[in-house]
Structure 1
């Protein structure tokens, strides 16, 4: 009896759907990351992340000849890594900022670092699967 191989192919996501996903991810980033930023200055910097992401990925996509769908998928998965990596870690983020302000360096926050690392790696794997399945 032959064994049937099962493969999981990525879904086709239209550009319109990518625009919706990118919008939702941007709102999620702002909703999670701005409130945990401890100072007004850091809140402004966090609020600028989506704009910087659009400019950077737009320029990179143009230089590399990527289509709009690829650029939106890069933006969405890269931007989603931040809220996933920081959700539930507000106290640790504030402590790291406080330590840097008081002592000139951040104290290690292993749980925060691990969560951020897993989120970034997970989003990279998701993007790779979506693009090349």
Structure 2
């Protein structure tokens, strides 16, 4: 039997969303090899916020549902790459140098597995917290 999630005030979810976004940016932006890549990675949270907001509006869900999902999803990426900063930096440099992604500069299987598992777990946690709203 699954336990009900705690009721978290909306203000706390705003703080968590801002903190999650800051963690994402602080983790990824310094690893990017040039301004173009820094700009692109900086836009990822905006894309996430837009997706969650539109989805919530379409389903008539409130921010109490959207913010936990956004926060957990955006935080999943730095957690998914934890311990693999060097590999990510090298792959970003290769992509910037070559101008494209190729099988030779893809992420290692270990990192891919870690990333997928962390994203699945974090999104499940976000969905669980969103059930309290």
Give the number of the structure with larger relative contact order, counting CA–CA contacts within 8 Å between residues 6 or more apart.
Answer: 2
What TM-score do the two structures reach when normalised by structure 1? 0.83
Distance verdict in 2 for CA 1:38–1:90, change over 3 Å: farther
- Give how far 1:26 is off: 0.7
1:63 counterpart residue number: 58
Query: How many residue pairs get matched?
Result: 128
Larger radius of gyration: 1
What TM-score do the two structures reach when normalised by structure 2? 0.83
Identify the match of residue 22 of structure 1 among 14, 17, 21. 17
Distance verdict in 2 for CA 1:70–1:27, change over 3 Å: same
Is the contact made by 2:52 and 2:70 (CA closer than 8 Å) also made in structure 1? yes
Is the contact made by 1:99 and 1:107 (CA closer than 8 Å) also made in structure 2? no
- Give how far 1:24 is off: 0.7
* Counterpart-to-counterpart distance in 2, 1:54 and 1:102: 31
- Stretch of structure 1 that moved more, 13-22 or 31-40: 31-40
1:122 counterpart residue number: 121
Q: CA RMSD in A?
A: 2.1
Q: Could you list the runs of 5+ residues in structure 2 that have no partner in the other structure?
A: none
- Give how far 1:63 is off: 1.1
Is the contact made by 1:18 and 1:72 (CA closer than 8 Å) also made in structure 2? yes
Q: Could you list the runs of 5+ residues in structure 1 that have no partner in the other structure?
A: 1-5
